[in-house]
Amino acid sequence: MTEPLLPLIVEPEALEAALGTEGLLVVSVDEPATYAQGHVPGAVHLRFASLIAPRPPAMGTMADAAQLSEAFSSIGLTPETHVVAYDGEGSGKASRLLWTLDVIGHRRFSLLNGGLQAWAGEGHKVETEPATPTRSDYRVGAFGDALADKQYILDRLGDGSMIVLDARTPPEYAGQDMRSARGGHIPGAANFDWMLAVDRDRNLRLRPEAELRAMLEERGITPDKEVVAHCQTHTRSSHSYIVLKSLGYPNIRGYDGSWSEWGNDPDVPVEQ
């Protein structure tokens, strides 16, 4: 496989210079109205809902291969395409797209650092004319090891080689902000609110690598462990997943059932 066109975390200036490069596909995962108001030139729009298939009470579970194949074919994705994803809401939705690509083995992708806020807020050109992609025939095959389910976590609880990264807010983690039948967190999980990773004073770009590593390691989230990330529906924690990937953590997974599944199951253990 050829080398990626861009690094995993790409700055607006680098993306601007690369626009128009053959094999590059910029994907907005914003709401349709936001996309219509202004988007990166040439960016195609992908509906976030096309990536998920809720299985109540788990509301963020991954779509099946047929649904994903249709979604990716509709935007013209090919196995050789390098995807740059962004949104205007903190990069959670864009990261969910990239995590999905990682699960299916499509590893040519980047996250626009700071998303639309950095791009538009720093004077880079936006356009309102929607892009019309040429449909492809993208076929999703087997799902890989970037995905974890409830049983995978249950089987490893108490195993010191694995740590669960809970990307929700501290009140959710503590059970004070109840968004499922039960409040609290998975036993042994470390709380790393996904917004800790971004700098609000720099248009929601990721914090410097040294800061990120320090924050993670002080919570016991270290590269020698397998890290399984979750939130409520695995959108916020997809961002955490990409942060870990950018730092070179070698063994990471996302739990798409997340707290909407775990917190609504009376038969699994919960801590507060």
- CA-to-CA distance for 80 and 22, rounded, in angstroms? 10
Contact criterion met (CB below 8 Å) for 228 and 162: yes
* Burial class of 218 by CB neighbour count within 10 A (0 to 12, 13 to 18, 19+): exposed
Calculate the alpha carbon distances from 249 to 28, 146, 226, 241, 244 in Å: 26, 12, 8, 9, 5
Tokens 């798409």 correspond to what residue? 256
**What strand order describes the sheet that includes 162-166?**
147-148, 252-255, 226-230, 162-166, 190-191
Query: Is 12 considered catalytic here?
Result: no
Q: Of 44, 231, 243, 244, which one is the catalytic site residue?
A: 231
Show which residues are catalytic.
231
